[in-house]
Amino acid sequence: MRGWLLSIGSVVLTSLVIGNAYFQKQQFYPSVVYITKSNPSLAVLYLQAFVFVLLLGQLSRKVFFGQLRPAETEHLIERSWYAVTETCLAFTVFRDNFSPLFVAQFTMLLFLKCFHWLSEDRVEYMERSPVISFLFHIRVICLLTLLGTLDSLLVHKAYHSVINSGASTQLVFGFEYAILLTIVVAVFMKYVLHTIDLQSVNPWENKAVYILYSELVMGFIKSFLYITFMVIMIRVHTFPLFAIRPMYLTLRSFKKSVSDVIMSRRAILNMNTLYPDATPEELASGDNVCIICREEMMTNAKKLPCNHIFHISCLRSWFQRQQTCPTCRMDVLQPQQPRPPAMPAMPQGIPPHGAHMPPPFPMFPMGFPPVPPPGVPPGAPQQGLGPTPPQPPTTQGPSSSTTPQPSSNPIPGTLPPFFPPPFPMFPSPMFGFPFPRPPSSGNTSSATMEELRAMEGEERENVEARIAVLRNIHSLLDTAITQLNQYSQAVAATQTPTFMSGLEPQAGTSTAPISTSQDQNTDENIVSSTADVPGPSWAVVDEDVATTDGETRSIPEASTGVETLAEDYASHNDLRQRRIERFSSQPNDNQDEE
Amino acid sequence: MAGAALKRLMAEYRQLTLNPPEGIIAGPVNEENFFEWEALIMGPEGTPFEDGVFTAKIVFPSDYPLSPPKMKFVSDMFHPNVYPDGRVCISILHAPGDDPMGYETSAERWSPVQSVEKILLSVVSMLAEPNDESGANVDASKLWRDNREEFNKIAKTLVRKSLNL
């Protein structure tokens, strides 16, 4: 309404002024001279020009933006006030050159600036709205092309004017339009990124990274422009007070984008090195909704040391802000020192084979059994592979008898990477050094004379040897503790008597290495006590681990229920085979060492 | 599809429409912009705000859920933890780092685990049990502590006002 009043009023005034001039002078040229000589008439004409600019602005807004959203209007008004203030400051700096043309140029600059801001807001809005129409794309592309062309033309013009007629106010305009051109480029880059993102059904994970880097580059260019501008202005003219605020803002945002990039890189590095990928089994088990984006996690998920699982991209953007677990707020950088990657890995592999673990650990820290102990592990594979099938399930026995119970266990397939093979090898993925060494050096009875001698005496090497032994013992104790924890978890997870009966003899094994026959007895107990459980068939399967799945099914005593279970555990079969291969290779190595 | 923030907001909206928590209705003001929501909150029973229906506006940042949204009561509200202009001051709406009241541990701050539903539930419990240690509205805190009757009276008038009575 007010706008209409203003424009109609100005048109009326202009026609009055022109009519009056023509009425007085009767001719074109004298009336023009009259108008330009009369200040009130000129004021009216300037007002009319201003109104024209406003109308043009309204028209282009309608063409390129349609209705402005309230937030956009608010933003525009706020920025316009700053720009107007700065323009007034610029007028004071260039008061010598003050002329209507100069004002007109500044008005045009302001006018174009408004459209740059609006286009910035509009493109940002793409991220917020679920419905982006075709018209939107056309409008944005047209607007950006137009603005880009105008900016380059004006920069070009300003450049030539400066080159030809020396530094003048054109210098300011040249820089201003160059800055606007960078805005157009930045907006266009964002637009392209958003458009690509809109095309795909799934969120584009690397978009954040691209945006980050594009902001970094544009921030750098803008800061460079501003600093150059500042230096040149101070040299040729005076201190450009009007450019202080935008320059400060630019430098600040550049600094922020630099730190964002650094944080992002650090987050990515941490994620790639510190945390394991979540396996498909972990994702399949139970709640696989990423708490950050509330989407299901199919792939590309990471597991933090606290066992919480998130999308890689979500986690990365969160780590840019904070290095804590979003769920439990554990500081993810804290446990970096000793062995972060191993710790989260362990609980995955262990639980289903909790029964498998105990034998190694009690022997270990004590350092009693020298590398090929009389007890279970190295012997087992040989029996398992060897031609004498009757005594297979030494180490496998318990685990196979227990596997049916933890069948609900979410992560059976995670085993391959983390499964602890016979113990001499097991800790080696966790600790950097080859593990078989500690038992032999920690065990005085089996240590060689050389080693014993090395541990005596006061010389440096001897002391070092002692310290090394102590360190080994320390790490063994750590292992034992984690294993104990997992052991207790496994016990808690499976409460059926079958499992317990399978475990008790294990405890016996731990204190005094027990012959395989005893283990076998317990297995037979299990077999007899739980004839309806797939246990028996498993004992059979274990006898001949090399049998394929199909052969397993052909085993006569396997009932239909067992068959399905056999299918379920086909992967276990593979696994066991792999395990046994390692078994057979590992102890041999150890023996070689001895 | 579009950005992660939008997807998550749509997911939360779906969730809130399918299983609305008791006494809370929330959704985008218009479906073209999912970053501005309006919420209707029933005053919890047995409190001075009982029976009132209070309108609040929630504005989400474009990097939601990494940054917390802002919540502001549109209805008049007189409460120790609501600024006189309607902004809600509860710890889960504060990003770790800034601590306007200087007493919150980072454990109770914003994290992506939070959601609109949790915020609104926290606001309901805030209505039920004001925390007068962090006075966003000092007058309300003082009145709540020293002159509960007067506080309840003001709350009752607000309830009536919220129902356009």
Taking any CB pair shorter than 8 Å as contact, residues of chain A touching chain B are: 69, 124-132, 194, 197-198, 200-203, 207, 291-295, 313-314, 317-318, 321-322, 324, 326-327, 329
Question: Closest by alpha carbon to B83, among B125, B139, B41, B37?
Answer: B139
- CA-based nearest distance A329→chain B, Å: 7
Contact A295 B65 (CB under 8 A): no
Task: List Cβ neighbours of A127 (8 Å cut-off, separation of 6 or more).
Answer: A194, B2, B3, B5, B6, B62
Nearest CA in chain B to A124: B62
Digit-coded pLDDT (tens) for A156-209: 999 998 888 876 778 888 889 999 999 999 999 999 988 888 777 666 767 778
C-alpha distances out from residue A136 to A76, A188, A466, B7, B33, Å: 19, 14, 75, 20, 15
Digit-coded pLDDT (tens) for A272-311: 777 777 777 777 776 777 888 777 777 777 778 777 888 8
Other Cβ atoms within 10 Å of A414 Cβ, number: 23
- The bridge status of strand B70-73 relative to strand B24-30 is unpaired
Cα(B138)–Cα(B79) distance, integer angstroms:
9
Higher pLDDT, A347 or A3: A3
| pLDDT for the residue A346 | 38
What value does the mean pLDDT of chain B take? Answer: 84
DSSP A531: T
Question: Closest by alpha carbon to A409, among A456, A463, A347?
Answer: A347
Of B1, B33, B62, the CB nearest to A203: B1
pLDDT over 90 (residue A148): yes
CB A310 within 8 A of CB A302: yes
| pLDDT for the residue B105 | 62
Digit-coded pLDDT (tens) for A120-131: 988 888 877 777
CB A545 within 8 A of CB A578: no
Taking any CB pair shorter than 8 Å as contact, residues of chain B touching chain A are: 1-8, 10-12, 15, 31-35, 62-63, 65-67, 95-96, 106-107, 111-113
Question: Closest by alpha carbon to B24, among B12, B35, B33, B34?
Answer: B12
| pLDDT for the residue A359 | 38
| pLDDT for the residue B58 | 92
Question: Closest by alpha carbon to A396, among A422, A368, A369?
Answer: A422
Phi and psi at residue A29, in whole multiples of 5°?
Answer: -60, -50
- CA-based nearest distance A139→chain B, Å: 18
Exposed e or buried b per residue across A57-94, where buried means at least 16 C-beta atoms within 10 angstroms of its C-beta: eeebbeebbeebbebbeebbeebeeebeebbebbeebb
Nearest CA in chain B to A330: B107
CATH topology (fold) of A275-333: Herpes Virus-1 (3.30.40)
Contact A127 B107 (CB under 8 A): no
- CA-based nearest distance B144→chain A, Å: 34
Higher pLDDT, A71 or B74: B74
Spell out which residues of chain A touch residue B8, defining contact as CB-CB under 8 Å. Answer: 292-295
Which range, A433-442, A481-490, A517-526, B66-75, is most confident?
B66-75
- Amino acid at position A257, single letter: S
Spell out which residues of chain B touch residue A69, defining contact as CB-CB under 8 Å. Answer: 33
What do you get for the CA distance between the two ends of chain B, in Å?
Answer: 45
Q: Where are the alpha helices (DSSP H) in A445-534?
A: 449-455, 460-493, 497-511, 516-529
- CA-based nearest distance B7→chain A, Å: 7
Spell out which residues of chain A touch residue B27, defining contact as CB-CB under 8 Å. Answer: none
Contact A291 B113 (CB under 8 A): yes
| pLDDT for the residue A222 | 93
Spell out which residues of chain B touch residue A200, defining contact as CB-CB under 8 Å. Answer: 1
Judged by DSSP in three states, A391 sits in coil
Cα(A109)–Cα(A87) distance, integer angstroms:
10
Determine the residue among A68, A127, A207, A312 to mutate to test chain B binding: the one whose Cβ has the most chain B Cβ atoms within 10 Å: A127
* Average pLDDT of span A57-76: 88
Phi and psi at residue A346, in whole multiples of 5°?
Answer: -60, -50
Judged by DSSP in three states, A448 sits in coil
| pLDDT for the residue A572 | 55
Determine the residue among B70, B105, B113, B116 to mutate to test chain A binding: the one whose Cβ has the most chain A Cβ atoms within 10 Å: B113
Cα(A325)–Cα(A304) distance, integer angstroms:
7
- CA-based nearest distance A333→chain B, Å: 16
CB A394 within 8 A of CB A519: yes
- Distant-in-sequence contacts of A278-281, Cβ < 8 A, 24+ apart: A278/A302, A278/A303, A278/A309, A279/A348, A279/A411, A279/A413, A279/A414, A280/A413, A281/A410, A281/A411, A281/A412, A281/A413, A281/A414
Burial of residue A509 (CB within 10 Å: 0-12, 13-18, 19+) is buried
Handedness of CA A470, A473, A475, A477 (dihedral sign): negative
Of A130, A198, A329, the CB nearest to B10: A130
Judged by DSSP in three states, B128 sits in helix
Determine the residue among A133, A212, A329 to mutate to test chain B binding: the one whose Cβ has the most chain B Cβ atoms within 10 Å: A329
Contact B6 A200 (CB under 8 A): no
Check if B89 is active-site: yes
What value does the mean pLDDT of chain A take? Answer: 69
- CA-based nearest distance A266→chain B, Å: 17
CATH number for position B55: 3.10.110.10
Cα(A331)–Cα(A322) distance, integer angstroms:
9
Determine the residue among A257, A294, A296, A310 to mutate to test chain B binding: the one whose Cβ has the most chain B Cβ atoms within 10 Å: A294
Cα(B82)–Cα(B85) distance, integer angstroms:
8
Determine the residue among B64, B108, B110, B111 to mutate to test chain A binding: the one whose Cβ has the most chain A Cβ atoms within 10 Å: B111
Structure tokens at A26: 């009767």
Residue from B58, B77, B89, B90 carrying the catalytic annotation: B89
Of A124, A198, A202, the CB nearest to B62: A124
Exposed e or buried b per residue across A523-533, where buried means at least 16 C-beta atoms within 10 angstroms of its C-beta: beebbeebeeb
CB A253 within 8 A of CB A284: no
Q: What percent of chain A has pLDDT over 70?
A: 60
Spell out which residues of chain A touch residue B107, defining contact as CB-CB under 8 Å. Answer: 329
Contact B3 A207 (CB under 8 A): yes
| pLDDT for the residue A367 | 39
- CA-based nearest distance A535→chain B, Å: 43
Lowest mean pLDDT among A22-36, A84-98, A179-193, A418-432: A418-432
- Amino acid at position B25, single letter: I
Task: List Cβ neighbours of A254 (8 Å cut-off, separation of 6 or more).
Answer: A216, A219, A220, A222, A223
Contact A294 B8 (CB under 8 A): yes
| pLDDT for the residue A413 | 39
Spell out which residues of chain A touch residue B62, defining contact as CB-CB under 8 Å. Answer: 124, 127-128
- How many residue contacts between A and B have a Cβ separation below 8 Å? 87
Cα(A587)–Cα(A227) distance, integer angstroms:
69
Lowest mean pLDDT among A9-13, A54-58, A271-275, A492-496: A492-496
Spell out which residues of chain A touch residue B13, defining contact as CB-CB under 8 Å. Answer: none
- CA-based nearest distance A347→chain B, Å: 24
**How many alpha carbons fall within 13 Å on the CB side of residue A177?**
23
DSSP A132-165: --HHHHHHHHHHHHHHHHHHHHHHHHHHHHHHHH
* Average pLDDT of span A334-358: 40
**Tokens 């907001």 -> residue:** B9
DSSP A349-386: HSGGGGGGSTTHHHHHHHT-S-SS-SSHHHHHHHHHHS
DSSP A249-315: HHHHHHHHHHHHHHHHHHHHHHHHHHSPBPPHHHHHSS--B-TTT--B--SSEEE-TTS-EEEHHHH
Judged by DSSP in three states, B42 sits in strand
Digit-coded pLDDT (tens) for B149-158: 898 888 888 8
Which residues constitute the domain of residue B55?
A: 4-163
Digit-coded pLDDT (tens) for B59-113: 998 888 888 899 999 988 888 889 989 998 888 888 766 555 555 566 678 888 8
* Average pLDDT of span A549-555: 40
Nearest CA in chain A to B107: A329
Structure tokens at A534: 């797939």
Digit-coded pLDDT (tens) for B117-163: 889 998 998 888 888 777 788 888 888 888 888 988 888 888 888 88
Domain count across chain B: 1
Spell out which residues of chain B touch residue A193, defining contact as CB-CB under 8 Å. Answer: none
Cα(A349)–Cα(A347) distance, integer angstroms:
6
* Average pLDDT of span B38-63: 88
pLDDT over 50 (residue A452): yes
Which range, A237-251, A391-405, A550-564, is most confident?
A237-251
Spell out which residues of chain A touch residue B112, defining contact as CB-CB under 8 Å. Answer: 291-292, 314, 318, 326
Q: What percent of chain A has pLDDT over 90?
A: 14
Spell out which residues of chain A touch residue B96, defining contact as CB-CB under 8 Å. Answer: 322
| pLDDT for the residue A478 | 87
